[in-house]
Amino acid sequence: MSGNADNRVAFKLLGLVAVMLSLSFASIPLYDWFCRVTGYGGTPLEADAGSDVILDKTIKVRFDANVERDMEWEFKPLQREVELKIGETGLAFYEAYNPTDRPIAGSASFNVTPYSAGEFFIKIDCFCFEEQILEPGQRVDMPVTYFVDPDIVNAVEASYVKTITLSYTFYEIDLTETDVTLAPVLSDGVSDIN
């Protein structure tokens, strides 16, 4: 009888370990989804179009660019700061350059500071939504279209915000054979991906 009880305890513990392991693997995608939906942790929200309301009040938006330590690209914003009306659609450009002799694929992570402004900084279109592949010596300008939600002026936690910083960090991702063979080539021999 004690053997059956030991087996039941062992199976229950094994089941508990399996559930905990499953939750640990699911936690990262769930947290990422939560941040994108709520703007928590400075994660900007996304929209299909600009705001219908544009206020007379302005806000400054600063642009920051970084690369992961082992990423060989050069990456920078083409403007450091702009001032625009709250609700007005803005357009900013970042420049990426691959100085190496090999194609490199990259993906960008992003955030907004201060974190309280994350739910009010809305991106309409962004290079960060897609994988980027740069051929050797290729230099590209990458746009981001955005606006600051007019509701920011009514939010207690964000009412003090006068400047928002949008920061991107590019990191290298695996380049598959399919990526290389599907790369369209321009007349100057440089790939034109994104």
pLDDT in tens, 9-45: 777 777 777 766 666 655 444 444 444 444 444 345 5
For domain 41-182, the CATH superfamily is Ctag/Cox11 (2.60.370.10)
Largest interatomic CA distance in the chain: 80
Q: How far is CA 90 from CA 50, 151, 172, in A?
A: 9, 17, 28
At residue 1, the pLDDT reads 53
Q: Tell me: the pLDDT tens digits for 144-160?
A: 999 999 999 998 888 78
Task: Report yes or no: 146 and 122 within 8 Å, Cβ to Cβ.
Answer: yes
Specify the higher pLDDT residue, 72 or 14.
72
Where do we find the tokens 């803005």? 90
Q: Answer yes or no: pTM beyond 0.85.
A: no
pLDDT digits (tens, 9 = 90+) for 77-131: 999 999 999 999 999 999 999 999 999 999 998 889 998 888 899 988 888 767 8
As a whole number of angstroms, the distance between CA 45 and CA 106 comes to 21
Handedness of CA 153, 158, 159, 161 (dihedral sign): negative
Terminal Cα-to-Cα distance of the chain (whole angstroms): 67
What residues contact 120, with CB distance under 8 A and at least 6 apart? 39, 148, 149, 151, 152, 155, 158
pLDDT number for residue 26: 56
| Strand bridging mode 45-46 / 121-126 | parallel
Nearest to 194 by CA among 73, 184, 44: 184
What residues are paired with 46 via a beta bridge? 123
